[in-house]
Amino acid sequence: MGFGAVAAGAVMLILTLITVAILGSVLYAVMMNMAKEVLGERSYLETVAFKITAITYNSTLNELLINISNVGQEPIIPYVNTEIIVDYIDVSGSRRIDILYYREWSFNRLIIGNSSYNIPSGVFVEVPPGAILEVKVPPTSPIDVSQPIIVIVVLDNGVKSEYISNIK
């Protein structure tokens, strides 16, 4: 093996090490950026929290009024990808699971402290911390009020709240 072969081998080894170092640093930067994004989303989800505090059923109108209280540190905005799932027994004794998308339910009013504000249809609402949003939901069938009901509200960012109880 001559000097040229040794020199070529050394050059190839150096170029390989430089390539590995560059790829390693790029991969490290990408992974750190992804980790920061995940941690940022996680901390945001920890500050966004809401709770279904009450459900009232109007059998005359076949309408559920769901009170959603913002118990987190950030405002919540129920938007077009917000879903409401209602699991109940109807008056004929059949189990129903309604998955209601935006426009199949509507905002009714916003309660901030001792003040209540009616919300016109088609208007989006930002619910500040401590406020209560009342949502109007029409089930597909009349509900048997002697049976428990399960209601799940899922925001577009994946944050959800569940309520399991008999309705009033």
For the segment 124-149, what is each residue's pLDDT rounded down to a tens digit?
Answer: 888 999 999 999 999 999 999 999 99
Give backbone dihedrals phi and psi of 37, rounded to 5 degrees, phi first. -65, -45
Lowest mean pLDDT among 34-48, 110-124, 144-158: 34-48
Domain locations in the chain as residue ranges: 1-47, 50-165
Check pLDDT > 70 for residue 168. no
Predicted confidence at residue 46, as pLDDT, reads 55
Could you give the CA distance from residue 6 to residue 21 in angstroms, rounded to a whole number? 22
Predicted confidence at residue 80, as pLDDT, reads 79
Give mean pLDDT, residues 42-53.
Answer: 71
Closest CA to 50 of 158, 144, 148: 158
For the segment 108-118, what is each residue's pLDDT rounded down to a tens digit?
Answer: 999 999 999 99
| Residue where the block lists tokens 């109940």 | 88
Give mean pLDDT, residues 141-167.
Answer: 90
Predicted confidence at residue 70, as pLDDT, reads 93
Which helix (DSSP H) or strand (DSSP E) does residue 17 occupy? helix 3-47
**Is 50-165 CATH 3.10.450?**
no
Q: Strand, helix or coil at 88?
A: strand
